[in-house]
Structure 1
Amino acid sequence: MIQQQTILKVADNSGAKTVKCIKILGGFRKQYAKLGDIIVVSVQQLRNKSKKTSKVLKGGVFWALVVRTKTQFKKRDGSFFLLSENSVTLLNKQGNPIGTRILGPMPKILKKKKFIKFASLSVGLI
């Protein structure tokens, strides 16, 4: 579960390396974000190689889609799956991805939550 002040990895090639969660969107008292939720983040670190060609700047505020979380997620058939890190992909204000690739696998759940564009950009689905 992701809450405010959580440091997250960025799973796309937008140029950001780590971001910090500022706010969870979707309700007045919503404290935690799960897979497929949209949050507001601030860029903390940039990738070394792409500082000049980066699409984002340090300190910039963006929307982000939660792609992977460390907490267990239960499928409908009763099985669980667990991912190794908390990561997000950055969005612009229209809800489109900033990066052109998503690094690492992405859960199939996001494809069902109407994020088909992200599923097509990812390496694989689990």
Structure 2
Amino acid sequence: MIQERTILKVTDNSGAKTVRCIKVLNGFKRKHAIVGDIVVVSIQQLRNKAKNTSKVRKKEICKGLIVRTRMKLKKKNGFSIVFQENSIVLVNKQGNPIGTRIVGPLPKLLKKNKFQKFISLSAGLVQH
């Protein structure tokens, strides 16, 4: 579960390294976000190699899609999946990804939530 002030890793090539969650969207007084939710984030750190060619700047406010969390994802059939880190993909105002590549696998849950553009940019899917 991701809540306000949580530090997240960025898994795309937009130029950001870490971000901080500011607000969880999609609901009044909603406190936690899970995989597939959109959150508002602030850029905390940029990648060293991409500081000049970065598509985002430090302290910039943007939106992001949560793609991996450390909390277990459980299904009704008994399967569960766990990731090692909390990670996010940065999104522009239209809902499209800012970067052109996504590093690491994405859960198959995102395919059902109509995020096909993110699935096509990723390295692979994790079945659960």
Normalized against structure 2, the TM-score is what? 0.97
Which residue number in structure 2 is paired with residue 5 of structure 1? 5
CA distance in structure 1 between the aligned counterparts of 2:115 and 2:40, rounded to whole angstroms: 17
CA distance in structure 2 between the aligned counterparts of 1:122 and 1:112, rounded to whole angstroms: 15
CA distance in structure 2 between the aligned counterparts of 1:16 and 1:89, rounded to whole angstroms: 10
CA distance in structure 1 between the aligned counterparts of 2:95 and 2:118, rounded to whole angstroms: 11
Structure 1: which amino acid aligns with 2:60? G
1:56 aligns with 2:56: yes
Does the residue aligned with 2:66 lie in a helix, a strand or coil?
strand
1:46 aligns with 2:46: yes
CA distance in structure 2 between the aligned counterparts of 1:80 and 1:108, rounded to whole angstroms: 12
Deviations 1:92-120 (A, max 9, x none): 01100000000001000001100011000
Structure 1: which amino acid aligns with 2:90? L
Does the residue aligned with 2:123 lie in a helix, a strand or coil?
strand
Structure 1: which amino acid aligns with 2:124? G
Structure 2: which amino acid aligns with 1:16? A
Which residue number in structure 2 is paired with residue 21 of structure 1? 21
CA distance in structure 2 between the aligned counterparts of 1:103 and 1:30, rounded to whole angstroms: 29
Structure 2: which amino acid aligns with 1:117? K
Structure 2's unaligned 5+ residue stretches are: none
Structure 1: which amino acid aligns with 2:118? F
CA distance in structure 2 between the aligned counterparts of 1:76 and 1:49, rounded to whole angstroms: 43
Does the residue aligned with 1:118 lie in a helix, a strand or coil?
helix
1:75 deviation in Å? 2.2
Does the residue aligned with 1:18 lie in a helix, a strand or coil?
strand
How many residues end up aligned between the 2 structures?
126
Does the residue aligned with 1:103 lie in a helix, a strand or coil?
coil
1:77 deviation in Å? 2.1
For residues 73-112 of structure 1, the aligned pairs below 5 Å read 73-112=73-112
User: Aligned residues: percent identity?
Assistant: 63
Structure 1's unaligned 5+ residue stretches are: none
Q: Deviation above 4 Å: which 4+ runs of structure 1?
A: none
Deviations 1:33-58 (A, max 9, x none): 00000000000000000000000000
CA distance in structure 2 between the aligned counterparts of 1:91 and 1:102, rounded to whole angstroms: 12
Structure 2: which amino acid aligns with 1:32? H
Which residue number in structure 2 is paired with residue 115 of structure 1? 115
